[in-house]
C-alpha cells in the first residue's frame, strides 16, 4: 500500500500545489475520497468556491450535498448567530454572558426543545410524515443510521433480521456499514439480508418514467418471507441509490417495500441523509415517493454545513433505547440546533424549493446535452441530484474518462469557466448536485462550460 501517493499538482497553481504538498505530509490519504482535482479552497460564497490563486469554481457538489442553501448565506448565519444568543462580536466582552454553551451533554436548553418541535412539525406537515414523533440526534449520517438500527433491534427483541436494499450506501461505521453494499462483501454481519434495488428499470430518465414491473421484487420478498417470517426487525433503504451511481426508482418500488413492512410488522427506515431538505424536489423524498416511514434518517443538508444528523420517527421505537444508549458527546449540541433552525427558517420562509425545481429542469437539459460529446453513456437523476455515467472509450475505462472530466472541468474552459465536481461514484458516474439556490442562468452558463470541456476531453480520448 502506497502511504505517499503521487502528489496532485496543477499547472499555474503555485499556492495550491504547495498546500497539497504540506497536506500530504500531515494527513493520511484515507481521510479523503480520491478526486483528481483535489481543489484547495481559500474562500467560498453562495454557489462558488475560490482557490488560493483566486480562481473561481462553480460548486456543482454542495460539499457532498450539504450546502443546499449555498456557502455562508448571510441571513442564515445571522439566524444561527441569533439562535446561539451571540452578541455583536465587537460588543463589550461581558455581552457574551447571554450566549449558549457549545455543549449539551448532561444538560439541555430551550433551543434544543424548539429545534425538535420545529423539525417534527415540519416533517409532519408533509405527506408521509405522519409517524414523526421524536428526534434522536447524532453528529454524522452513519451515527444516525446506527441509532435507528439500535433502536429497532431493541424494540423487537428476538427478531434479529435486518433487511437492506442491495448496493445502498448508509455510511462506513459499524452497523451503518453492515447495511451498505450487498451480501458479497467480506465479513458480512449475518443479521443483515439483502433484496434487490431497481437499476435496469430506472437506468435513464426516460425508462424511469415508464411503469416498473414489480413481479421480480415481489418474488424476492416472498422467498425471504418464506424463509424468515417472524424474524424480521426492520428494513432500511434509500429513496435512490446515491453512492452506487444515481439510480432513482419508480415510487411504486418503495411503496412495495413499505407494504411488505406493514404486512410483516417490520420497522420501515428511510435513509434521507442525502435527499432531505429539498434535494429531490420536495422537502423530503418520502413525500413524492408516496411512503410513510417509521423512521427517517436525516443529515448532510440538515445543518447546511454544521455537522448534525438525526433519526426521526416513532416514539415507541426510539423510546426503546434506555438512558445512555443513544447519547454521545456531540448529539443535540446547541450549534447544531441553531443551524437546523436557521435552515428550517430559510426553507419555510423563502421559495428555495421552487427555485430548486426550476434548477432541476436546467440541470436535466444541460446534462442530457453532454451525451452529444460521445463520452457520456447515461444521465440519471431528479431534483438537484444527478449522475452522469461516462463510457469506456478505446483502452480507457469509464473511470479514466470520468476522472479526466473532473480534472478538465476543474481547470476550466478557454473562457476561464471552471466547475468543481466530486470524484466519480461507482467508478464512472459523475455526481452533479449544486446548491438549490444556484441561479438558473448561472447554472446554464456552467453547464455550457461542461459541454465545451467534455467536448475537448472527447477529442483527446478518441
Ligand X SMILES: Cc1ncc(COP(=O)(O)O)c(C=O)c1O
Positions that interact with ligand X (CB under 6 A): 64, 140-142, 145, 169-171, 238, 242-243, 271, 273-274, 299
Q: How far is the CB of 311 from ligand X (least distance, A)?
A: 11
Q: Are 84 and 100 in contact (CB under 8 A)?
A: yes
CB 169, min distance to ligand X, A: 5
- What residues contact residue 152 under an 8 Å CB cut-off, 6+ apart? 162, 233, 234, 267, 269, 295, 317
Residue nearest to ligand X (CB): 141
Minimum distance from residue 246 beta carbon to ligand X (Å)? 11
The residue (of 295 and 449) whose beta carbon lies closer to ligand X is 295
Q: Quick one: residue 283, left, alpha or beta (phi over 0 = left, psi -120 to 50 = alpha)?
A: alpha
Which residues, at least 6 apart from 405, have a Cβ–Cβ distance to it below 8 Å? 375, 390, 421, 430, 453, 454, 457
Closest approach, Cβ 144 to ligand X, in A, equals 8
Task: Decide whether 83 or 169 has the Cβ nearer to ligand X.
Answer: 169
Task: Select 85 or 427, whichever has its Cβ closest to ligand X.
Answer: 427
Q: Which is nearer to ligand X, 307 or 398 (CB)?
A: 307
- Environment class of residue 176 by beta-carbon count within 10 Å: exposed (0-12), middle (13-18) or buried (19+)? buried
Quick one: 84 or 310, whose CB is closer to ligand X? 310
Q: How far is the CB of 147 from ligand X (least distance, A)?
A: 12
Distance CA 253, CA 138 (A): 29
Complex with ligand X: residue 286 or 454, whichever CB lies closer: 286
Query: Residue 35 or residue 51: which is nearer to ligand X going by CB?
Result: 35
Closest listed residue to residue 119, CA positions, set 325, 244, 283: 283
User: DSSP per residue over 85-96, as a string?
Assistant: T---TTS-GGGG
Residue 26: phi and psi, rounded to 5, are -110, -10
Which residue, 140 or 362, is less far from ligand X as judged by CB? 140
In whole angstroms, what is the distance from residue 317 CA to residue 156 CA? Answer: 9
H and E: helices and strands count for the chain: 15, 14
**Taking each helix axis from N to C terminus, what angle separates 352-369 and 334-349, rounded to the nearest 10 degrees?**
80
Q: How far is the CB of 238 from ligand X (least distance, A)?
A: 5
CB of 268 to ligand X, least distance (A): 16
Give the helix/strand (H/E) hosting 164: strand 161-165
- Least spacing, CB of residue 12 vs ligand X, in Å: 32
- Supply the minimum distance, in Å, between the C-beta of residue 97 and ligand X: 34
Least distance between ligand X and beta carbon 240 (Å): 9
Q: Which of 328, 289, 287 is nearest to 309 (CA)?
A: 328
Q: Which residue lies nearer to ligand X by CB, 244 or 362?
A: 244
- Which string of DSSP letters, residue by residue, matches 340-390? HHHHHHHHHHS-HHHHHHHHHHHHHHHHHHGGGGS-EEEEEEETTEEEEEE
Q: Residue 22 CA to chain centroid, in angstroms?
A: 29
Cβ-based nearer residue to ligand X, 70 or 171: 171
How far does Cα 164 stand from its chain's mean position? 18
Amino acid at each position: 500500500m502506497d502511504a505517499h501517493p503521487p502528489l496532485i499538482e496543477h499547472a499555474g497553481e503555485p499556492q495550491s500545489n504547495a498546500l497539497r504538498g504540506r497536506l500530504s505530509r500531515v494527513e493520511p490519504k484515507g481521510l479523503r475520497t480520491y478526486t483528481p482535482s483535489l481543489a484547495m479552497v481559500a474562500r467560498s460564497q453562495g454557489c462558488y468556491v475560490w482557490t488560493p490563486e483566486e480562481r473561481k469554481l462553480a460548486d456543482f457538489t454542495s460539499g457532498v450535498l450539504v450546502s443546499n442553501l449555498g456557502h455562508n448565506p448571510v441571513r442564515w448565519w445571522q439566524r444561527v448567530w441569533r439562535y446561539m444568543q451571540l452578541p455583536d462580536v465587537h460588543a463589550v466582552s461581558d455581552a457574551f454572558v447571554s450566549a449558549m454553551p457549545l455543549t449539551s451533554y448532561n444538560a439541555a436548553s430551550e433551543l434544543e426543545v424548539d429545534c425538535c418541535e420545529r423539525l417534527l412539525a415540519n416533517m409532519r406537515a408533509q405527506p408521509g410524515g405522519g409517524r414523526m414523533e421524536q428526534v434522536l440526534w447524532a453528529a454524522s449520517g452513519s451515527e444516525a443510521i446506527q441509532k435507528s438500527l439500535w433502536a429497532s433491534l431493541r424494540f423487537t427483541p428476538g427478531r434479529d433480521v435486518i433487511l437492506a436494499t442491495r448496493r445502498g450506501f448508509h455510511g462506513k461505521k459499524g452497523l451503518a456499514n453492515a447495511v451498505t453494499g450487498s451480501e458479497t462483501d467480506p465479513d458480512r454481519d449475518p443479521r443483515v439480508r439483502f433484496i434487490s434495488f431497481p437499476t435496469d428499470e430506472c437506468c435513464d430518465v426516460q425508462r424511469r418514467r415508464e411503469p416498473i414491473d414489480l413481479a421480480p421484487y415481489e418474488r424476492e420478498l416472498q422467498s425471504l418471507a418464506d424463509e424468515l417470517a417472524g424474524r424480521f426487525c426492520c428494513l432500511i433503504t434509500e429513496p435512490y441509490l446515491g453512492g452506487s451511481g444515481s439510480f432513482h426508482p419508480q415510487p411504486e418500488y418503495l411503496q412495495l417495500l413499505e407494504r411488505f413492512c406493514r404486512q410483516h410488522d417490520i420497522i420501515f427506515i428511510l435513509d434521507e441523509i442525502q435527499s432531505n431538505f429539498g434535494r429531490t424536489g420536495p422537502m423530503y423524498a418520502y413525500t413524492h415517493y408516496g411512503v410513510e416511514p417509521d423512521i427517517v434518517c436525516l443529515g448532510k443538508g440538515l445543518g447546511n454545513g454544521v455537522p448534525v444528523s438525526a433519526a426521526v420517527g416513532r416514539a415507541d421505537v426510539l423510546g426503546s433505547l434506555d438512558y445512555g444508549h443513544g447519547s454521545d458527546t456531540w448529539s443535540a449540541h446547541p450549534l447544531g440546533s441553531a443551524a437546523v433552525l436557521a435552515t428550517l427558517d430559510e426553507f419555510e420562509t423563502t421559495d428555495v424549493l421552487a427555485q430548486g425545481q426550476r434548477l432541476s429542469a436546467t440541470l436535466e437539459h444541460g446534462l442530457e446535452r453532454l451525451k452529444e460529446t460521445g463520452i457520456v453513456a447515461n444521465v440519471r437523476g431528479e431534483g438537484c441530484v444527478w449522475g452522469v455515467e461516462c463510457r469506456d472509450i478505446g483502452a480507457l475505462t469509464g473511470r479514466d474518462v470520468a476522472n479526466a472530466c473532473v480534472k478538465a472541468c476543474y481547470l476550466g474552459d478557454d473562457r476561464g469557466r471552471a466547475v468543481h465536481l466530486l470524484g466519480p461514484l461507482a467508478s464512472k458516474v459523475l455526481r452533479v448536485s449544486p446548491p438549490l439556490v444556484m441561479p438558473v442562468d448561472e447554472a446554464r452558463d456552467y453547464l455550457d462550460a461542461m459541454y465545451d470541456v467534455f467536448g475537448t476531453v472527447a477529442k483527446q480520448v478518441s
